[in-house]
Amino acid sequence: MDVTGGNGQPRPDKNHPAEHPPAPPTPNPEHDPEHESAPGEGHPDKPEPGDTAHRTEHEHRSLAHAGIARTDPPPERPREPGGGILMGRPFGVPVYVAPSWFLVAALITWVFGGQLDRVLPELGALRYLVSLFFAVAFYASVLVHELAHTIAALRFKLPVRRIQLQFFGGVSEIEKEAETPGREFVLAFVGPLLSLVLAGLFYLALQPVEPGTVPGVLLAGLMISNLIVAIFNLLPGLPLDGGRMLRAVVWKITGRPMTGTVAAAWVGRALAVSVLIGLPLLNQSGTLGGDQDVSGMDTVTDALLAAILAAIIWTGAGNSLRMARLREHLPDLRARTLTRRAVPVQSDTPLSEGLRRANAAGARALVVVDTDGNPLSLVREAAIVGVPEHRRPWVPVSELAQDLTAGMRVSAELSGEELLDTLRATPATEYLVVENTGEIYGVLSAADVERAFVKAMARPS
């Protein structure tokens, strides 16, 4: 909080001076005698001549020797739940079925049921039960595809947040990128490889089965569907597995993962346009096995399917570009350089007195501590702004403070994606920043992180 009307900059350290836009304006402290600095004391954001221009890490750590006791190091971030219905945790990774899956299951049941009516008309209404079984079995094979990605990621020590089965297949949410292009290639290739293996297994299982029977139709359908999944995912454009394989190859050649992402993403966009135009034309010409004499409804259906697939590929390619750019700039975000200096106050300290101490110490945050100096809560900047100046001598800081939770203790060593993940796990306006030793380093404002993130993303790659 900038109680002195200063420039709103977060606390710099000796190696990385903090730079971000000013904080929101607060009431003018010149009209409140409680805010006036003592003679000889400089403005907290504008040191007097002879003062050090940039506060050093040593000065910042002196908070621990000014009455704030050590606290426990920040705990590890808990795994985030959510994503639909939890079906299990193979290899410790939660598998969720999204609500949209039920829509696609109904669609597959209806379409496959129509096919069964032509092949096995004697089934009657029972064909929809068989079709539902096919839908479940098909998505079970999609789960095997995603488990292949997951096992490879875990083998490479990459954390996997979850697997989600949704409308257009499945997705394994791997939280970190592979460290080498070779691992990236393997990570992408194992999914289509398992789909090809499944197609082969269903083909072998189909051989002794009598044609024109329910088992024969199911096995043939699963063989063809897994073959389609494998071929489609091997197309060389992001966000498909083939696009990640192409990215790995370009990364290996150029030595730059960003170059690989850009190349694979633009190939993905070209692929989206090709699907939009080419899929209906191929289907009408009979190249894909369809009837050349198609009706108007079939033409509309083909065009709609092509448009949906093209939109998915185009959007995924664009998201891949944005995520790559984000990852490139994330290391610029460091908790240590964004942290504000803080001063300790007792819970019954009047707000005006707390602000006076902060002004005198050149601090921009207040930490409420007990009699032993252990941190209890953080005084919220927004709450301070909402208190009129004439009432501040009678308002204790405890009324404006938010109790500290385990998730609000942040390590000063966090940076980049790890820092953002930690803040997302426990949404708050302020966080207590601590050293690995447990010493208090200061207070991190979510608004400062957001401003720094926007500024980092605005810089060219």
Angle subtended by helix axes 181-206 and 126-155, to nearest 10: 150
Find tokens 């692929």 and name the residue: 271
d(CA 445, CA 430): 5
Q: Say if residues 38 and 61 touch (Cβ distance below 8 Å).
A: no
Q: Which of 104, 83, 107 is nearest to 93 (CA)?
A: 83
d(CA 410, CA 420): 11
Report the pLDDT value the prediction gives residue 105, as an integer from 0 to 100: 92
* DSSP labels, 269-300: HHHHHHHHHHHHHHHHHTTTS--SS--HHHHH
* DSSP labels, 3-56: TT----PPPP-SSS----PPPPP---GGG-GGGPPPTTPPBTTBPPTTS-SS--
Sorted by sequence, the CB contacts under 8 Å of residue 323 that are 6+ apart come out as none
Q: Say if residues 313 and 386 touch (Cβ distance below 8 Å).
A: no
Report the pLDDT value the prediction gives residue 303, as an integer from 0 to 100: 81
- Domain ranges, ordered by start, for the chain: 29-77+334-458, 85-332
d(CA 393, CA 307): 65
Find tokens 């040191």 and name the residue: 47
Task: Give the model confidence (pLDDT) of 81-119 as tens digits.
Answer: 457 999 999 999 999 999 999 999 998 999 888 888 888
Say what the pTM is: 0.63
d(CA 445, CA 141): 46
Going across the sheet that includes 440-445, the strands are: 409-411, 430-434, 440-445
Task: Give the model confidence (pLDDT) of 251-299 as tens digits.
Answer: 999 999 889 999 999 999 999 999 899 888 877 776 655 554 444 545 6
**CATH architecture, range 29-77+334-458:** Roll (3.10)
Find tokens 């940076």 and name the residue: 415
Report the pLDDT value the prediction gives residue 400, as an integer from 0 to 100: 93
Give the β-pairing of 343-346 and 366-369.
Answer: parallel
Report the pLDDT value the prediction gives residue 420, as an integer from 0 to 100: 83
Flag residues of the chain having pLDDT under 50.
1-81, 292-295, 297
